[in-house]
Amino acid sequence: MTDNRHRRQPPQPHDGTCTGTRLVHAGRGPGFADGIVNPPVWRASTILFDTLADLDAGIAAPDAGLYYGRRGTPTQWALEDALTGLEPGAAGTKLFVSGVAAITTALLAVVKAGDHVLITDSAYEPTRLFADQTLARFGVTTTYFDPRVGSSIADLIQPNTSAILLESPGSLSFEVQDVPAITTIARARNIVTMIDNTWATPLRLQPLALGCDISIQALTKYVGGHSDVMMGSATATQALWPRLKAATYRLGHSVSADDAALVLRGLRTLELRLDRAEASALTVARWLEGHHHVDRVLHPALPSHPDHALWRRDFAGATGLFGFVLKQGTRADTAALIDDLRHFGIGFSWGGYESLILPVEIDSIRTATATPLPGPLLRLSIGLEDPADLIADLDAGLARYGAQF
Ligand SMILES: *Cc1c(COP(=O)(O)O)cnc(C)c1O
């Protein structure tokens, strides 16, 4: 057989090296790029086969090398393998056009008609919409649970419960979940656990090592890191990998090589950016905690956070996303604070190099738990600016807000 087909190397599993080193080597297997440091951007739909024998060899093993564009090229494989190599216990990773697509596909890989799923009440809102509007149409019922449920999750399990979806910390409310307590109970009953790990990334929490079966990220956020690309990933253990892979293929997911190259570029600097965002966010959070207009700061790395001990036990560090609650105020008072900020953009998403602020509502989304707050909740994504500039900006904003009373 003439070798016109790039062979796919087996992914290199987590090899125990330190994080920065792994981020440099991740996904750069031999044969991908003939000495070029980064895998080239291989745009492809059709892959040509030299002969019928080559075509037949491809049909017999379509995942062994280049086959058809939807199955990816060395560009997408490099990113998949890099993400697999970051998590101990991972067998493989699939990429999706968004974080939401990763979550919905992971659920579809596991549930069937008549099943029941348990979803944390702190879950990302589109995840809830998918469960309530789409899974429900196929006869799958959902119960939302208190993110702080811990081992009491056992009381919520039904005979037909097939999946539990975690998110820790919640990206609006920042409760930390007792992941090992939940996964221990789930494993004993053959229930699949999946976690939205977007806040932590594998650098700060390694969910498969804590007993989860599928670890999901919106790569749109920290891994992409530059607010210019949408993508999601799902990384599975050996036990779940065949189901995840099959569901992804059948649902037709495929990401562009250009986008995969952008996300790979982001991945190389992930540790540097997270370290900076983590340190600056803590500085800003501590400052906010001492401000007289602030009721509380929702940041799991602060000792005042109710789940701080759990966070210390399971996480290797924090990132740059947290919230703070004002003591009082209306939408107009919030506008006084945020409209004239110089260094915080008002917008969705997070995890980019630039800082963002967003007023968020939790009680209107939730059904299992209520969190009455005295005033508006604002979420900050701290970027790579100097924290002194960010604090000065927030200080001026809080003065404008304070002038309303
Ligand atoms: C943004 C986000 C998602 C969805 O990612 P998209 O790429 O925007 O679809 C999922 N989970 C969390 C926690 C998020 O913040």
Q: Are residues 164 and 246 in the same domain?
A: yes
Name the percent of the chain lying above pLDDT 90. Answer: 87
Angle between helices 241-251 and 99-110 (to 10 degrees): 120
- In this predicted structure, the answer to whether residue 10 has a pLDDT above a threshold of 80 is no
The separation between CA 204 and the C-alpha centre of its own chain, rounded to angstroms, equals 11
Residue 355 inside a domain? The answer is yes
- In this predicted structure, the answer to whether residue 28 has a pLDDT above a threshold of 70 is yes
| Predicted pLDDT of residue 131 | 97
Q: Which of 28-42, 299-313, 362-376 has the lowest mean pLDDT?
A: 28-42
Number of domains in the chain: 2
**pLDDT tens digits, residue range 29-80?**
766 667 788 888 999 999 999 999 999 999 999 999 999 999 999 999 999 9
Q: Are residues 189 and 200 in the same domain?
A: yes
**pLDDT tens digits, residue range 108-134?**
999 999 999 999 999 989 999 999 999
Band of residue 274 on the pLDDT scale cut at 50, 70, 90? very high
Residue 4 inside a domain? The answer is no
Residue 135 inside a domain? The answer is yes
**pLDDT tens digits, residue range 372-394?**
899 999 999 999 999 999 999 99
Q: Are residues 202 and 332 in the same domain?
A: no
Band of residue 1 on the pLDDT scale cut at 50, 70, 90? very low
Instruction: Please tell me the distance from the alpha carbon of residue 164 to that of residue 159, in angstroms, as a whole number.
Output: 13
Residue 2 inside a domain? The answer is no
Q: Is the CB of 124 under 6 A from ligand 1?
A: yes
| Predicted pLDDT of residue 247 | 98
Q: Are residues 223 and 131 in the same domain?
A: yes
Residue 287 inside a domain? The answer is yes
**Residues 102 and 234: beta-carbon distance below 8 Å:** yes
Report the chain's mean pLDDT, rounded to a whole number: 94
Q: What is the DSSP string of 336-383?
A: HHHTT-SS-EE-S---SSS-EEEEE--TTT-SS-----SS-EEEEE--
Opening angle at CA 101, ends 97 and 103, nearest 5: 140
Residue 151 inside a domain? The answer is yes
Residue 55 inside a domain? The answer is no
Band of residue 151 on the pLDDT scale cut at 50, 70, 90? very high
Q: Is the CB of 161 under 6 A from ligand 1?
A: no
**Residues 141 and 152: beta-carbon distance below 8 Å:** no
Q: Is beta strand 214-218 parallel, antiparallel or unpaired with respect to 232-236?
A: antiparallel
Averaged pLDDT, 207-220 = 98
Q: Are residues 93 and 142 in the same domain?
A: yes
Q: Is the CB of 98 under 6 A from ligand 1?
A: yes
Q: Are residues 198 and 294 in the same domain?
A: no
Domain assignment of residue 289, given as a range: 270-402
- In this predicted structure, the answer to whether residue 2 has a pLDDT above a threshold of 60 is no
Q: Which residue's CA is minimally distant from atom 6 of ligand 1?
A: 99
Band of residue 11 on the pLDDT scale cut at 50, 70, 90? confident
Residue 391 inside a domain? The answer is yes
CATH code, domain with 227: 3.40.640.10
Q: How far is the CA of 322 from the centre of ligand 1 (A)?
A: 15
Averaged pLDDT, 166-170 = 97
Burial (CB count within 10 angstroms: exposed 0-12, middle 13-18, buried 19+), residue 23: buried
Q: Is the CB of 234 under 6 A from ligand 1?
A: no
Active site residue 379: no
